Amino acid sequence: MKLVTRLINKFKVNNSILLEEPSAPLMSTSIPGPKAKELLCTQSTFSQDFRTIKFIVDLSKSIGNYAVDVDGNIILDTYCHIASLPLGYNHPDMIYNIQSGEYQKYLAQRQSADLPDIHWPRMVRDILLPIAPKNLNEVIVNCGCGSNSNEEAYKIAFSYYMKNKRGGAQPSEKEIELAMNNQGEQLTILSFASAFHGRNLASQSTTHSKPINKIGQPRLDWPKAPFPEIKHPYHLNESHNIREEKRCLAEVEKVFKAAKNPIAGVIIEPILAEGGDKSASPNFYIGVQEIAHKYGALFIVDEVQTGGGPTGRFWGHEHWGGRADPDIVTFAKKLQVSGLFYKQHLRPGRAYALYNSTRGDPVRLLNLRKIREVMDNDNLLRQTERTGMLLKNSLSALSQKYPISNIRGYGTFLAYDFISPEWANAFVKEMLELGVAVGTCGTHSIRVRPSLIFKPKHAEIYLDRAEFAINQILSKGFKLAKV
Amino acid sequence: MKLVTRLINKFKVNNSILLEEPSAPLMSTSIPGPKAKELLCTQSTFSQDFRTIKFIVDLSKSIGNYAVDVDGNIILDTYCHIASLPLGYNHPDMIYNIQSGEYQKYLAQRQSADLPDIHWPRMVRDILLPIAPKNLNEVIVNCGCGSNSNEEAYKIAFSYYMKNKRGGAQPSEKEIELAMNNQGEQLTILSFASAFHGRNLASQSTTHSKPINKIGQPRLDWPKAPFPEIKHPYHLNESHNIREEKRCLAEVEKVFKAAKNPIAGVIIEPILAEGGDKSASPNFYIGVQEIAHKYGALFIVDEVQTGGGPTGRFWGHEHWGGRADPDIVTFAKKLQVSGLFYKQHLRPGRAYALYNSTRGDPVRLLNLRKIREVMDNDNLLRQTERTGMLLKNSLSALSQKYPISNIRGYGTFLAYDFISPEWANAFVKEMLELGVAVGTCGTHSIRVRPSLIFKPKHAEIYLDRAEFAINQILSKGFKLAKV
């Protein structure tokens, strides 16, 4: 406890903010510590469902890559609010930006989509258009969350399909009557096994990662296709991987041919994050894109987790090269605002076909503007690429000695497997005790999701503690290999 | 133009903020004026779909009940960002609150639901629980928008139905397998004709207000029941109204008896706002509640528009008296945060069954805390009731001379009908030219949706201009009665 107090005293101003990043994690209690337990206990008898809480952060004290928790523990954060922290905690440029007074009028009242502020059109143009993926020069922002952004993409796909089916004509009286009675054409969206596209009632029909996201809920009878089970490193398992990708592409085509209801769109993540950080070669994604377009379906890329730089490019699909041609790209998380970019000809024929009162929150765009500026000024994409390379190589070296394998990903958006879910869970627990917040994905994978200011020095700490954690687990009787 | 400039000069500080409310609207251009046209024109070639824009507000210059638009027009706002403005523009207490610095850390980073800030549990308890409807002591916040809040309510209803069906047991292997393949029990939600519960893919299956909200989209085959066509004033048409409510209650029961799939919940608005401000007597709502409970369905009250005071009570369903017993109440708009209150026994058995990364935005709760304080200190519920009474009585007087009828509602949450959609649209246009922003609902109704600081003096201006507008329309050849 003393050490922590000293460290906090060293860095604090007005009893609250650390002036600069600590040099390493520093734990004084287990997690949850006594203060956390007290807080959770008081709350459990009423109000919110707090069972999902990992730890309780003291946002005033957290800085850079380090979260400080309610018990004063200093934790290197590679979980980052489910991959949603672009510039770490309390980035000085963000704070300075917020203090400018520009936020005030947008906080004092929330504009609706039909009564925008005078600066809104220019904000959309100057903040959003510069990050638009190639050919996607139309945008919808503030969908509320990533799930909603995806559902908006589905709505665009459905509207567009029906518009084409009608040959551009207006809906008939009959179609309107059927619509008003919850009847009519049953269009679908094709998604992939292990995918996660949200938990809304429709988006969960495209989510296949875990039963908890779907159980007990009615679903739309929408199709899914298998996603390639790739072995990493890719080039060392090339013949298996290419065969597997071809097999899955053939399955995608089979689903289109056998579809009992029309498929208006295909949705895919550049890395199937929640489902276990699965990805395939660019050839596979381009193959899916080609099949979608061949059958008149839109190709929707869900960049809710991959968008905003963690793969070392601003968009994850940039790794697919020049042939990538998504019709819609959805985003949220690291951009600190949710929404979607789409091709202009997909705009529905009539106003209000896509609409929500809460579209357009300038507060979130002011944040995004500053995030982008810092990314440019500090060359964070390049740094993320470099740090990721170091992490990946060092994890590979560790995999020679320890029960980890299948190291994969781009930039610092990485993952690796333990030999069992028990190993993965023990690792997460041990790492948190050592002051590193780490998350799982799939059944037995560890996901690496630091913010964009994660540097080689932070990676070194992560790697040191990871090796220590694995040895701790081994010393508790866990085996090096499956028995 | 000169008058406006003088008025703005009189009230401005630093070329931007009016210090106090103007005494009346003041128009210098038509809407859209030249600056608005220029802005809209520049934007139409790219980026957002701006066709739904009513006018462009200059949030820096707007104050109290008055929006100042980009061309300097001063507009009395009774539309208020689709009923989402609780305290008018730039309320001094809100501004003061924002300047306190408390918002800073919550703006600099967005917490995820599983890594909340140290102050979050207390904020939930101290800001949300005091406004919880009777018996609903569990809450979910930051659903993104009202539609999402409703979908979350449906998910609770479905989970609860399945839990009961299993006798409280965990889902079987078979149920999990079906869920993962988008198959399994098709549960439904019952809603009412003319209802509006959102535009997400599932919530639009409970929306029946206008074809634009549904056309071209696949829908869930969920049932709907007729909503009583009430004649106002209620007591002058009592025998018709009571007969009509009984007829509709019988229809609700018929839908339950004939349901081919189980109905897990019934959703209803205290006033069916978007669908034309339809409402019925408390007896009808209590009747629906009793039928829902009799058949084991949850009774869900959608207070997205009515919640937060506009009816003169904090919740619209408080007008139903002591027998009101909703299982879930959803909210958004005037509360400046979206979410739902529900009975604690409805909490799903397992964590993550209801979840979204973005649940829990302290920025919105800090706003809500201040809104509630101002409401209490300034006795805004009482004022809203009083102002509403004045408006309602005066509109009744106008209806003796002019083609308006069916004046209805509670507090300032009022509506009235013109004899045709053409009349209603002409009125909205004329009122905006006279400096009063007014909205429609249903096909030929005018909705009154001022903020909670709308006082009798504002109502007087509204009424004066309304009479003037009607006379203007008559002078253009519109008829007093349908021909």
pLDDT digits (tens, 9 = 90+) for B76-112: 999 999 999 999 999 999 999 999 889 999 999 999 9
Residues of A with CB below 8 A from B171's CB? Answer: 211, 215-216
Place of tokens 């100057």: A126
The widest CA-to-CA distance across chain B, in whole angstroms, is: 76
Please answer yes or no on whether B84 and A163 come within 8 Å at the CB atom.
no
- Report the pLDDT averaged over residues A141-160: 93
The yes-or-no answer to whether A1-74 and A116-375 have a common fold is no
Residues of A with CB below 8 A from B158's CB? Answer: 216-218
Q: Among B138, B199, B356, select the one facing A355 at the smallest CB separation.
A: B199
Q: Which overall architecture, per CATH, does domain B117-375 show?
A: 3-Layer(aba) Sandwich (3.40)
Separation between Cα atoms, residue B290 and residue B251, nearest integer Å: 14
Q: B470 or B8: which carries more pLDDT confidence?
A: B470
| Token pair belonging to B187 | 């549960």
- Contacting residues for A476 by C-beta, under 8 A, at least 6 apart: A426
**Ramachandran angles phi, psi of A376, nearest 5°:** -70, -50
C-beta of residue B118 within 8 angstroms of C-beta of residue A40: no
- Please state, as a whole number, how many other Cβ atoms lie within 10 Å of the Cβ of residue B215: 22
Nearest to A446 by CA among A422, A460, A427, A468: A427
What pLDDT sits at residue A19?
Answer: 67
Q: Would you call the peptide bond into A218 cis, given omega within 30 degrees of 0 as the criterion?
A: no
> C-alpha A334: how far from its chain's center?
7
Q: Among B47, B140, B148, select the one facing A129 at the smallest CB separation.
A: B47
Helix, strand, or coil here: B77?
strand
Residues of B with CB below 8 A from A336's CB? Answer: 110
The widest CA-to-CA distance across chain A, in whole angstroms, is: 76
Place of tokens 């609700």: B252
- Report the pLDDT averaged over residues B193-212: 92
Q: In a 10 Å sphere around its CB, with 0-12 CB exposed, 13-18 middle and 19+ buried, how is residue A174 labelled? A: exposed
Residues of B with CB below 8 A from A344's CB? Answer: 46
For chain A, the distance separating the N- and C-terminal CA atoms, rounded to the nearest angstrom, is 41
Please answer yes or no on whether A111 and B81 come within 8 Å at the CB atom.
yes
Helices (H) and strands (E) in chain A — how many of each?
14, 16
pLDDT at A3 over 90: no
What pLDDT sits at residue B47?
Answer: 62
pLDDT at B4 over 90: no
C-beta of residue B420 within 8 angstroms of C-beta of residue B399: no
pLDDT at A131 over 50: yes
Pairing state between β B413-418 and B66-68: unpaired
DSSP H or E stretch at residue A190: strand A188-192
Separation between Cα atoms, residue A6 and residue A10, nearest integer Å: 6
Please answer yes or no on whether A186 and B47 come within 8 Å at the CB atom.
no
Among the four given CATH numbers 1.10.645.10, 3.40.640.10, 3.10.20.30, 3.40.718.10, the one describing domain A116-375: 3.40.640.10
Residues of A with CB below 8 A from B114's CB? Answer: 52-54, 82
Please answer yes or no on whether A176 and B367 come within 8 Å at the CB atom.
no
- Contacting residues for B335 by C-beta, under 8 A, at least 6 apart: B86, B131, B307, B308, B368, B371
Q: Among A103, A114, A338, select the one facing B54 at the smallest CB separation.
A: A114
Report CA dihedral (B449, B454, B457, B461) to the nearest 10 degrees. Answer: -30
Residues of A with CB below 8 A from B441's CB? Answer: none
| Token pair belonging to A50 | 């707090």
Q: What is the band of B430 on the pLDDT scale with cuts at 50, 70, 90?
A: very high
Q: Which fold has domain A1-74?
A: Aspartate Aminotransferase, domain 1 (3.90.1150)
- Contacting residues for B310 by C-beta, under 8 A, at least 6 apart: B83, B334, B384, B411, B412, B413, B449, B452
Q: How far is CA B454 from CA B151, B333, B334, B391, in A?
A: 32, 17, 14, 11
Please answer yes or no on whether B220 and A154 come within 8 Å at the CB atom.
no
C-beta of residue B54 within 8 angstroms of C-beta of residue B79: yes
CA B396 to chain A, closest CA, distance in angstroms equals 30
| Token pair belonging to B401 | 């001379």
Separation between Cα atoms, residue B439 and residue A7, nearest integer Å: 58
Please answer yes or no on whether A363 and B363 come within 8 Å at the CB atom.
yes
CA B352 to chain A, closest CA, distance in angstroms equals 7
What pLDDT sits at residue A354?
Answer: 82
Please answer yes or no on whether A108 and B85 come within 8 Å at the CB atom.
no
Place of tokens 């390493």: A24
Q: Within a 13 Å sphere around the CA of A225, how many CA atoms are in the beta-carbon half?
A: 30
pLDDT at A48 over 70: no
Q: Which of A5-9, A369-373, A412-416 has the least mean pLDDT?
A: A5-9
C-beta of residue B330 within 8 angstroms of C-beta of residue B340: yes
pLDDT at B51 over 80: no
CA A319 to chain B, closest CA, distance in angstroms equals 25
Please answer yes or no on whether B118 and A59 come within 8 Å at the CB atom.
yes
- Contacting residues for B210 by C-beta, under 8 A, at least 6 apart: B274
Residues of A with CB below 8 A from B353's CB? Answer: 212, 215-216
Q: A226 or B210: which carries more pLDDT confidence?
A: A226
pLDDT at A257 over 50: yes
Q: Would you call the peptide bond into B130 cis, given omega within 30 degrees of 0 as the criterion?
A: no
Separation between Cα atoms, residue B299 and residue A25, nearest integer Å: 49
| Token pair belonging to A299 | 């190709």
What pLDDT sits at residue B9?
Answer: 45
pLDDT at A49 over 90: no
Residues of B with CB below 8 A from A147's CB? Answer: 356
What pLDDT sits at residue A183?
Answer: 86
pLDDT digits (tens, 9 = 90+) for B277-333: 999 999 999 999 999 999 999 999 999 999 999 999 999 999 999 999 999 999 999
CA A71 to chain B, closest CA, distance in angstroms equals 10
Nearest CA in chain A to B334: A110
- Contacting residues for A36 by C-beta, under 8 A, at least 6 apart: A55, A56, A69, A70, A71
Place of tokens 């990043």: A21
Nearest to A276 by CA among A82, A443, A407: A443
Please answer yes or no on whether B90 and A109 come within 8 Å at the CB atom.
yes
If you classify domain A379-483 with CATH, what class do you get? alpha beta
ipTM: 0.93
- Contacting residues for A92 by C-beta, under 8 A, at least 6 apart: none
Cα radius of gyration (chain B) = 23
Strand locations in B59-115 (E): 66-68, 74-77
Please answer yes or no on whether B144 and A140 come within 8 Å at the CB atom.
no
What pLDDT sits at residue B15?
Answer: 36
Please answer yes or no on whether A39 and B121 come within 8 Å at the CB atom.
yes
Please answer yes or no on whether A183 and B219 come within 8 Å at the CB atom.
yes
Helix, strand, or coil here: B226?
coil
Please answer yes or no on whether B124 and A67 come within 8 Å at the CB atom.
no
Separation between Cα atoms, residue B305 and residue B300, nearest integer Å: 14
Q: What is the band of A481 on the pLDDT scale with cuts at 50, 70, 90?
A: confident
| Token pair belonging to B278 | 């339809």
Domain ranges of chain B: 1-52, 117-375
Please answer yes or no on whether A128 and B352 come within 8 Å at the CB atom.
no
Residues of B with CB below 8 A from A55's CB? Answer: 115
Number of A/B CB contacts below 8 angstroms equals 370
Q: Taking all residues of chain B, what is their mean pLDDT, rounded to a whole number? A: 92
